Amino acid sequence: MNYQGKTIWITGASSGIGEAFARALYKEGANLILSSRREGALKQVKESLGADKSRVFILPLDLTQTETFPEKTEQALKAFGQIDMLMNNGGVSQRATVAETEMDTYRRLMEINYFGAVGLTKQVLPHMVERQSGHIVVTSSVAGKIGTKQRSGYAASKHAVQGFFNSLRQEMYEHNVAVTLLCPGFIKTNISKNALTGDGAKFGKMGDAHKDAMTADEMVKKVMPDIKKQKEEIYVTGFKEGLAIWVQRISPTLLNKILKNQKVT
């Protein structure tokens, strides 16, 4: 896949993994539509990308406000005439036990991580089906495969993402629309600082596991060849999370025994 002149809509583009994808795809010659809530941060990303500002369109949106998606999608389509790839990447994590987590916080995690991705995909899909061409990428997580302490709502939302997009893939084969689930382990971004505690307040700290993890730019460099191949599922992890995925495949019982004694940050 050559991204020169292709149009790519990225959510969660104001920070971390989304911002790193924007950097890499701009260099590949793509037209970019950058979305998240903070317009100022998106403008800074646009400024940092390079000289050709005409290839970058800022489209602020809140993933919890699915009712705005039809109009946002119209604006996105108008920007460059079509959408070749949608990267459902915006998301938020969690740092609280089940006992501590309020129902509103569980709902918020689902609204952002699951319904946000579902809602935007449903708007973009008819356009891709009509053209019989397109690629939907969704940033799931190792937490989309494995549940751990203090991540019940986050893991649930990412498991839901896996189920939805695996089903969608089956329906899209005949329409030549590819679906990729991207499953990172720990990546050094603001994800833990922005994670929700039980009452929905921000955790505000960089977790130990993230401090020493690979950067978002390193991650994007590693996964880009597989994204170009439109692989169905991509894992990009450190040693521990990679091992956990492997152990789960061999023996879920063994993995649960190991995880129950793990310190979670």
Ligand X SMILES: NC(=O)c1ccc[n+]([C@@H]2O[C@H](COP(=O)([O-])OP(=O)(O)OC[C@H]3O[C@@H](n4cnc5c(N)ncnc54)[C@H](OP(=O)(O)O)[C@@H]3O)[C@@H](O)[C@H]2O)c1
**Which of the residues are catalytic?**
154
Among the listed residues 119, 153, 184, 198, the single contact to ligand X using CB under 6 A? 184
The site for ligand X, by CB under 6 A, has a size of 30
In the complex, the smallest distance separating the C-beta of residue 41 from ligand X, rounded to whole angstroms, is 5
Instruction: Tell me the three state secondary structure of residue 139.
Output: strand
Contact 241, 187 (CB under 8 A): no
The verdict on 14 binding ligand X (CB under 6 A) reads: yes
Q: Which residue has the tokens 């489209």?
A: 59
**DSSP3 helix / strand / coil % (the chain, rounded to 5):** 50, 15, 35
Smaller CB distance to ligand X: residue 134 or 184? 184
Residues in the chain: 265
In the complex, the smallest distance separating the C-beta of residue 202 from ligand X, rounded to whole angstroms, is 10
The verdict on 153 binding ligand X (CB under 6 A) reads: no
| Residues 192-251, interacting with ligand X (CB under 6 A) | 194, 210
Q: Which two tokens stand for residue 260?
A: 């129950």
The verdict on 36 binding ligand X (CB under 6 A) reads: yes
Beta-carbon contacts of residue 183 (< 8 Å; ≥ 6 apart): 140, 141, 142, 144, 145, 233, 234, 235, 236, 237
Smaller CB distance to ligand X: residue 55 or 145? 145
Among the listed residues 1, 43, 62, 206, the single contact to ligand X using CB under 6 A? 62
Strand order in the sheet with 134-139: 56-58, 31-35, 7-11, 85-88, 134-139, 177-184, 233-236
In the complex, the smallest distance separating the C-beta of residue 73 from ligand X, rounded to whole angstroms, is 15
Stretch that binds ligand X, among 30-38, 76-84, 226-234, 256-264 (CB under 6 A): 30-38
| Residues 77-116, interacting with ligand X (CB under 6 A) | 89-93, 112
In the complex, the smallest distance separating the C-beta of residue 144 from ligand X, rounded to whole angstroms, is 8
Q: Which residue has the tokens 């939805």?
A: 164
Q: Which two tokens stand for residue 81?
A: 């005439």
Among the listed residues 24, 109, 191, 227, the single contact to ligand X using CB under 6 A? 191
Taking the CA atoms of residue 138, residue 93, residue 244 and residue 168 in that order, the dihedral angle to the nearest 10 degrees is -20
Which residues make up the interface to ligand X (CB under 6 A)?
11-12, 14-18, 36-38, 41, 62-64, 89-93, 112, 139, 141, 184, 186-187, 189-191, 194, 210
